[in-house]
Structure 1
Amino acid sequence: QDLGRDLDDSPILHVFASIGSNAARSSGPPSRTAGGSHLAEVVLDLAPIEDRPGWTSNRIASRWRELTGPVTDAVDLQFNADSFSAGDPISLQIRGRDVEELKRAALHLRQELAQFPGVLDLSDSFRAGKQELQLNIKPEAKSLGLTLTDLARQVRQAFYGEEAQRIQRGTDDVRVMVRYPKAERESLGNLENMRIRSPNGTEVPFSAVASVIQGNSYSSINRENQQRVVSVRGDIDRSVMAPEALIPAIQQIICQDASSFSSVDNSCRNDLFPGVRYRLGGEQLERSKVTSSLGKNVLLALLIIFALLAVPLKSYLQPLIIMSVIPFGAVGAIVGHYIMGWNLIFFSLLGIIALSGVVVNASLVLVDFINRQRADGVPLFDAVTNAGVVRFRPIILTSVTTFVGLIPLMTNEDPETFMFIPMAISLAFGVLFSTVITLFLVPSLYLMQNDYLKFIGLGANHTEASNAPLTAAAVNLTADGSAPIKA
């Protein structure tokens, strides 16, 4: 209700609540909680973003979290704003055989992660069930021939009942259950005072053969590769910290010994809980898979760029000169993140990859102009100098206009577009930085290429062949006594 008053109720279309189980709903994100009488879920169906200006889903979740505050006796409380994602921003799996050690390791990990700013809604997959009485058989019972199964069966018969017969009443079967009277089934004292039958028919007091411990069972125990698995999950306020910036800290917590890290499944162990292994998962695992796939595709893209440049230029060295600015574009992207105060994240990498196909434009313009000048008979050094002078203005204007066009996206404060800001920073600063480098690097490399070709015996022949027609014309005209033509 408080949240509705803050939002003026307009952004909220529907409110769905379930207590005890997950009722099916036709729309909205799938439930993140398992069924159970001790669980509850409230889901808000929001209006489209254009109908709730200023109220993004993350902001609504944050405001809801503030208004709710701590809930007394709540074991787990989560506020999720993303309907569909690659996984939780923080997700780790803890695997082992000892349930108690897994529980302690999960608690320790949650306590360590809670110390980082921006970390929210930490939880683990340990779900305590309802309170129960756990029966433990004493050694004295074994001498009487009693087993834990015998003990459990007799306690069940006394308090739940044993079916004695069924009576047909019309179309219904009525079960007749034999058990203790209701007054003798309402306290723990009744259990401790009951008598247990031994296999030989004698009856002994319950307290003589068994003990009772009051506790909670686990509602579910997940397994993977025959090992128990506990998942620790959490959310991150991206306006405070990027998920990628937390990974080194998490690895330092879970991998005290770097030699224990396994690159096969991204898992490791530490000395604090030697019986368990930690494994990064969720959003980070999915992104690492995507990053690995991107690495292969980037190499293929660079190879295609090289081929597209080599065919029209008819050279294997000039495409390398043109593509030499790509690493400097990546440097510019990194510097841009530092200037803007952003951490390098996955979307920054996507921007750098897109940058690879953009920064070669200025280099291509310079190399093409130099080639045209040389084809017209201009000396090499003059051709390189003319390229820098003539193409300086269009190259600078193109880069500056690209940078200015990306400024609105880089300075946008809407959380819904936060993921695009690192991409814009990579593109804007990468283009700007690489352009400045291009004006100095490409001419220098072109001259070095010519020296290299001369060194291996190819450059001189190429130069003579390019200027041969003009030189011959000059000689012939001079021999006839006409005015010489200067090449």
Structure 2
Amino acid sequence: MTSMQRVQDILVDAGRVVVDDAGGEQMADGVFANISNNSVEVQFYLTDPDIRPLSTGEFVKRWRDAVGDIAGLESLKFESDRGGPGSGDALTIELSHRDIDTLDRASEALAARLGEFSVVKDIDDGYTPGKRQYSFTINDTGESLGLTAMNIASQVRNSFQGNESYRQQRGRNEVTIRVRRPESERVSLYDVENLVIQTPAGDDVPLFDVATV
């Protein structure tokens, strides 16, 4: 058994214990587990808030307690994104910088500082080792068309991470809607190569015509 498989089994087994103790099928109607490179993802599909005995937040708390500490992990995060009280991140901070190394150091420092507060749980610095990263440099053609490095970076980021189009406060939770390309069109360098950038004049040009990797 690989170390990633071991981690997945621990997460799934701990979650199932919580589900069984809280009514089984009344609490959750499915589980999804996946291993990708050096990361593990486990999702429990909870039933409607009106019929399950635990809130989303309480389920996450009990699941986290059941898992405990797993030796060798760089990070472990429990989160919920829909359904019932206690869902969603309590705090989200977004950092932006043109230099990826500076951004990584800043996010790591911020995560470490937040970790000093005992009430803060499931800190995620946003950096996932193993993911390929690309740096873009604007070329002479891009500059002649009035583009800037920040403008290109913003358009690339919005295409792959999403452009915020709507934000609304609902009670204690904030709902944000982002518009981005379909997942199937943002998974490889081929998708980056086919990205179209809009110039200040409103013309569309291929990304690699105005920037180099």
Q: TM-score, normalised by structure 2?
A: 0.50
Structure with larger Rg: 1
Higher helix share: 1
